[in-house]
Amino acid sequence: MSRIGKAPIAIPAGVTVKVDGNKVTVKGPKGELSQVINPDLTVKVEDGHLELTRPSDDREHRAQHGLYRALIHNMVVGVSEGYKKEMELVGVGYRATATGQVLELALGFSHAIYIKLPPEVKVEAKSERNKNPLIILESDDKQLLGQVCAKIRSLRKPEPYKGKGIKFVGEVIRRKSGKSAGAK
């Protein structure tokens, strides 16, 4: 039995869930999201809770039971509270500026990098003296936010020798000693 799939999803005040066949639409103060689920699974909304049930204990049904429950839960949390990711630019001369939905990054290349972000993602760039520049991304869609963060991070991944690159705030980079450590 999928423990995740069996857990009911609490629907907070101000959030409405509409089930239309195999499409689940969640609407809240932060936005509206929809997800098409497997037609074998059934979704029941009753007295402030949402439950998913599966027809059998097949391996595929068990896997999808937990998957779609997690996706719907992420949608409910996204439209009620939203998701926020903070990224830090570590390196001399690394800068970030946000103009509308365009993020401009200076990452030590000979040119600036411009990234046009989807309209669902709000971006803010902060740079304070003697601190690493920060990129703050907010969205109601957890999947989209993670995808955008992964794309930004892929431009300059943190390297293990000096720790330079784009990393998430709070992320610990495994450091390596250079070649002088083993010489003698």
Distance from first CA to last CA of the chain, Å, rounded?
58
Residue 46 has a pLDDT of: 87
Residue 51 has pLDDT above 60, yes or no: yes
The domains located in the chain, with CATH, are 3-80 (3.90.930.12), 83-168 (3.90.930.12)
Residue 158 has a pLDDT of: 93
Residue 5 burial class via C-beta count within 10 angstroms: exposed 0-12, middle 13-18, buried 19 and up: buried
The pTM score is: 0.88
Amino acid in the structure at residue 90: V
Contact 143, 77 (CB under 8 A): no
- Give mean pLDDT, residues 128-132: 91
Residue 182 has a pLDDT of: 56
Residue 2 has pLDDT above 80, yes or no: no
Please tell me whether residue 162 adopts helix, strand or coil conformation: coil
pLDDT band at 1 (very low <50, low <70, confident <90, very high): very low
- Give mean pLDDT, residues 70-78: 95
Lookup: tokens for 92: 């001399």
**Percent of the chain beyond pLDDT 70?**
97
Residue 21 has a pLDDT of: 87
- Give mean pLDDT, residues 102-117: 94
Residue 179 has a pLDDT of: 83
pLDDT tens, residue by residue, 144-184 = 999 999 999 999 999 999 989 999 999 898 998 888 755 55
pLDDT tens, residue by residue, 89-107 = 999 999 999 999 999 999 9
Lookup: tokens for 152: 């930004």
